[in-house]
Amino acid sequence: MSYADFYRRSIEDRDAFWAEQAALIDWQTPFTQVCDHSQPPFARWFVGGTTNLCHNAVDRHAATHPERNALIFVSTETNQERIYSFAELQAEVERMAAMLQGLGVKQGDRVLVYMPMIPEAAFAMLACTRIGALHSVVFGGFASHSLASRIDDAEPAVIVSADAGSRGGKVVPYKGLLDEAIRLATHKPAKVLMVNRGLAEMPMTVGRDEDYAALREQHLDARVPCTWVAADHPSYTLYTSGTTGKPKGVQRDTGGYAVALAASMKHIFLGNPGETYFSTSDIGWVVGHSYIVYGPLIAGMATIMYEGLPTRPDAAVWWSLVEKYKVTSMFSAPTAVRVLKKQDPAALKQHDLSSLRALFLAGEPLDEPTAQWIAEALGRPIIDNYWQTETGWPILTICNGVERAPSKFGSPGKAVYGYDVKLFDENTGEELTGAHQKGVLAIEGPLPPGCLQTVWRDDDRFVKTYWSSIPGRQVYSTFDWAIRDDDGYYFILGRTDDVINVAGHRLGTREIEESIASHPNVAEVAVVGVADNLKGQVAMAFAVLKDTTALTDANAALKLEGEIMKVVDGQLGAVARPARVRFVTVLPKTRSGKLLRRAIQAVCESRDPGDLTTIEDPTALQQIKDLVGG
E-only strand ranges, 16-133: 33-39, 42-47, 50-51, 69-75, 80-85, 110-114
Q: How many CB atoms lie within 10 A of CB 495?
A: 17
Check whether 562 has a pLDDT greater than 60.
yes
pLDDT (average), residues 179-186? 98
Average pLDDT over residues 475-502: 88
Mean pLDDT of 170-187: 97
CB burial readout 43-57, b (16+ within 10 A) else e? bbbbebbbbbbbbbb
| Least trusted range by pLDDT, from 84-98, 317-331, 395-409, 503-517 | 503-517
The stretch 289-315 carries a mean pLDDT of: 96
3-state class of 481 per DSSP? strand
Mean of the pLDDT values across residues 15-43? 98
User: 505 and 515 in contact (C-beta within 8 Å)?
Assistant: no
Whole-angstrom distance, CA of residue 563 vs CA of residue 568:
9
The rounded distance, in Å, linking the Cα atoms of 317 and 331 is 15
> Average of pLDDT values for 578-594?
81
611 has pLDDT over 60:
no
Q: What count of other Cβ atoms lies within 10 Å of the Cβ of residue 99? A: 25
Q: What is the pLDDT of residues 424-439, one digit of tens each?
A: 998 899 999 999 999 9
Higher per-residue confidence, 35 vs 427:
35
Q: Is 150 in contact with 184 (CB distance < 8 Å)?
A: no
* Range of weakest confidence among 20-34, 264-278, 523-537: 523-537
Based on DSSP, count helices (H) and strands (E) in the chain, helices before strands: 20, 32
User: What's the pLDDT at 241?
Assistant: 62
What is the band of 52 on the pLDDT scale with cuts at 50, 70, 90? very high
Write the pLDDT tens digit of every residue in 114-161: 999 999 999 999 999 999 999 999 988 788 988 999 999 999 999 999
- Residue 69 or residue 525, greater confidence: 69
Q: State the average pLDDT over residues 282-305.
A: 96
Please report which confidence band the pLDDT of residue 612 belongs to, taking 50, 70 and 90 as the band edges: low
Cα-Cα end-to-end distance for the chain:
52
Q: Which residues pair with 114 in a beta bridge?
A: 161
Determine the Cα–Cα distance for residues 183 and 190; give it in Å rounded to an integer.
Answer: 13
What pLDDT does 318 receive? 97
Determine the pLDDT at residue 499: 75
pLDDT at 614: 54
**Predicted TM-score (pTM) of this structure:** 0.85
Instruction: List the one residue out of 209, 204, 214, 205 whose CA is nearest residue 95.
Output: 214
Distance (Å, rounded) from C-alpha 254 to C-alpha 236? 9
By the 10 Å C-beta count (0-12 exposed, 13-18 middle, 19+ buried), 155 is classed as middle
Q: What is the pLDDT of residues 70-107, one digit of tens each?
A: 999 999 999 999 999 999 999 999 999 999 999 999 99
Give the pLDDT band (50/70/90) at residue 243.
very low
| Beta strand pairing call for 382-384 and 358-361 | parallel
pLDDT band for position 270 (50/70/90)?
very high
**Residue closest to 601 by CA, chosen among 458, 467, 454, 500:** 500
Q: How many residues does the chain have?
A: 630
Is the pLDDT at 496 greater than 80, yes or no? Answer: no
**How far apart, in Å, are the Cα atoms of 494 and each of 340, 347, 386, 476?**
24, 33, 12, 17
Strand pairing category for 302-307 and 69-75? parallel
What's the pLDDT band for 265 if we cut at 50, 70, 90?
very high
Q: What is the mean pLDDT of the chain?
A: 93
- H/E stretch holding 306 reads strand 302-307
Q: Are 439 and 478 in contact (CB under 8 A)?
A: no
Fold held by 499-628: GMP Synthetase; Chain A, domain 3 (3.30.300)
Buried b (16+ CB within 10 A) or exposed e, 302-337: bbbbbbbbbbeeebbbbbbbbbebebbbbbbbbbbb
Q: Return all residues near 442 (Cβ < 8 A) that are at least 6 apart.
A: 421, 422, 423, 424, 470, 473, 475, 476, 477, 478
Q: Do 539 and 578 contact (CB within 8 A), yes or no?
A: yes
pLDDT digits (tens, 9 = 90+) for 195-223: 999 999 999 999 999 999 999 999 999 99
Looking at the predicted structure, is the pLDDT value of residue 505 above 90?
Answer: no
pLDDT digits (tens, 9 = 90+) for 392-430: 999 999 999 999 999 998 899 999 999 999 999 988 999
Q: Which residues pair with 84 in a beta bridge?
A: 71
Output the pLDDT for position 574.
87
Residues 43, 36: contact at Cβ < 8 Å?
yes
Cα–Cα distance measured from residue 188 to residue 194, given in angstroms and rounded to the nearest whole number: 16
Residues 21/418, Cβ–Cβ less than 8 Å: no
Residue 370 has phi, psi (to 5 degrees) of -65, -45
Per-residue model confidence (pLDDT) at position 590: 63
Q: Are strands 327-332 and 276-279 parallel, antiparallel or unpaired?
A: parallel
Cα distances (angstroms) measured from residue 167 to each of 75, 347, 376: 10, 21, 29
Report the pLDDT averaged over residues 559-568: 95
The pLDDT value recorded for residue 327 is 98
Q: Where are the domains of the chain?
A: 439-495, 499-628
